[in-house]
A and B are shown apart, each in its own frame.
Chain A
C-alpha cells in the first residue's frame, strides 16, 4: 500500500489568499509529481522533482510553485489564489523517472475551491 499523504483534503478559500498544499511520502522515493485535474478532464502534470533541490515545470502551465527541501516533502504554493485555480490537485511519487515503466503512487488529492 502506498504511503503518500496530502493535506488538506478539501479547502475553500477567498480570492487573494496564499495557500500551501502539503504532500509527504514515506517510501523514500526520489521522484515526486503534482497533477491538476479539472472536472471531466485528464490529469495534467504541473510540476515534478527528481530529488532534493530539483524542481521542473510540467506540461500544463501553472501559477503555482513548488519546493523540495526534503526527500519526503513536496509542497505546492499559490501566492494569491484566484477562482481559476479551483481544481483538484494530486501528488504522486515513484522510484524512477518519467520515462520509465515504474508505477507512480498517488495521494488522495486536495479539492480546492477559490471563491
Chain B
C-alpha cells in the first residue's frame, strides 16, 4: 500500500516570491511519481512524471526533483504569479494511482 503525504496543506505566497512544497512517501515501490496542478473549477493538469532517483524536470518557472532514496519530491515555483494559484497534487503509480491531499497555493498580488 502506497502512502503519500504532502506538506504544507496550504500556503500563501506574495507575488514575485519563490516557493516550494513537498511530497513524501515511505516506500519507493512505485513506477512513477506524478505532479498535477488543479485550478478551481478546472481539470487537474499534469505537470511532471518522474521515475528515476535524481530526476529533475522543468516547465517554465516550475521545476521538480525526485529523491527515491530519502522518500521525497520537491516542487519549486520561481517568481510566483497569480495564475500559479491552485492545488498541487502528488501521486504515485503502483497498482493504482495513489494521491496525496494536495498543497493549496494562493498567490497574494
| Chain A residues at the B interface, C-beta cutoff of 8 Å | 2, 4, 33, 40-45, 48, 58-59, 90, 98-109
Contacts and interface: CB of A to CB of B under 8 A. Distances in A.
A44 B97 CA distance: 9
B93 A41 contact: no
B46 to A, nearest CB: 4
12 contacts: A41-B101, A42-B100, A45-B96, A90-B44, A99-B93, A103-B34, A105-B43, A105-B46, A106-B43, A107-B43, A108-B41, A109-B43
B21 interface: no
Contacts of B98: 42
A26 B50 CA distance: 26
Interface in B43-75: 43-46, 49, 51
Contacts of A104: 34, 46, 97
Contacts of B31: 99-101
A104 to B, nearest CB: 6
Contacts, number: 55
B83 interface: no
B23 to A, nearest CB: 12
Contacts of B94: 99
B32 interface: yes
Of the listed residues A33, A58, A101, A102, the one surrounded by the most CB atoms of chain B closer than 10 A to its CB is A101
Contacts of A98: 93, 95-97
Interface string B14-52: 000000000000000001101010000111111001010
A40 B100 CA distance: 10
B35 to A, nearest CB: 10
Contacts of B91: 43
A34 B18 CA distance: 35
B43 A103 contact: no
